[in-house]
Amino acid sequence: MIPKSKETLGVICTSVGYEEITNGDPRLPIDERHHLPFVGPERTTSDWLLGYLVRGNLSLELNGGHPHTLQSGIITLFPPGSRYRFTPSGEEDILLHHVSFTGKSLEERKVCTAIDELGPVTEIGLKSEIIDLFQQLVETSKSYSEDAQRELGATIVLLVARLVNCKHLFLELHSAPSFIEQAKATIRNRLYEKVSMEDIAREMKIPLSTFRRNFTKEEGVSPYQYLLHCKIEQAKKEMLFNTTPLRYIAERFGFNDQYHFSRVFYKVTGTRPSVWRKAQQE
């Protein structure tokens, strides 16, 4: 049961959960798949419906159109009034996260403005930070606190912004015209990890010394400095969406602790993160 709020909120979560189909589980025989609340017969959305397929393949029929095969790493987003049907493709296990939401701010595009950049089907790849946000929504929905619905709405806004960012990075990574652009896209794709330049060079399949030398010559900064700059710029965007404590933001972006995050933030921006956030809210 999604907790209700006593105040009017711009974004309201109406349902959140996941569908998991395990062929070997006797509690969920294959012939009972159509009894699942999300996968099965055709349905019509009353709210925005966002799904993330992280395991297996599904067939999607949208608004009476031809079926599309969806693979893991695919985001689906349907506006209110959409007719859809998901059915399993093959016999592999399936895991699909989903959340539905509504609100006046969505209609007026006061928040979640980036939602228009996501199509009905968008490929972003498998992202642990996106899975973490879906799991955070599930955990928050179990709360009976008065602030639960507010937190759900803020997390949905953050989730949409993250998904748009993942979409851009995925497109850059798979259409990078040069070695340097591909390296930059690879770095931006790893902002939420504790990643070393050795890892990036290995992923690019080139010697570390060559990677550092060519990147620095082309960009004017080392690849590690570029990584830190990108982490801080993305952290600034997320700090605008909510009041998440800085220690959690530091952990989310792979910094050793809040002090490490604050030191790098100051080096990049010339101000402390707490001072910067307060200035943006005034």
Residue 47's pLDDT is 92
Residue 31's pLDDT is 36
pTM for the model: 0.67
- Ordered by where they begin, the domains of the chain are 12-169 (2.60.120.280), 178-281 (1.10.10.60)
d(CA 171, CA 16): 28
Residue 54's pLDDT is 93
Task: Please state, in angstroms and as integers, the Cα–Cα distance from residue 23 to each residue in 41, 60, 73, 91, 218, following that order.
Answer: 19, 20, 20, 7, 51
Residue 1's pLDDT is 61
DSSP secondary structure string for all residues of 137-189:
HHHHHT--STTHHHHHHHHHHHHHHHHHHHHHHHHHHHH--SHHHHHHHHHHT
The two most distant CA atoms of the chain are separated, in Å, by: 61
Residue 35's pLDDT is 36
H or E segment at 86? strand 83-88
Per-run averaged pLDDT (10 residues), the chain, 282 residues = 70 88 48 46 90 91 87 93 86 87 76 77 91 93 83 91 87 72 87 87 82 89 94 90 85 90 93 90 72
Residue 104's pLDDT is 80
In the block, which residue shows the tokens 């395991």?
55
Residue 64's pLDDT is 84
Residue 176's pLDDT is 56
Residue 133's pLDDT is 94
Residue 25's pLDDT is 47
Single-letter residue type at 94: I
Residue 32's pLDDT is 35
Residue 242's pLDDT is 75
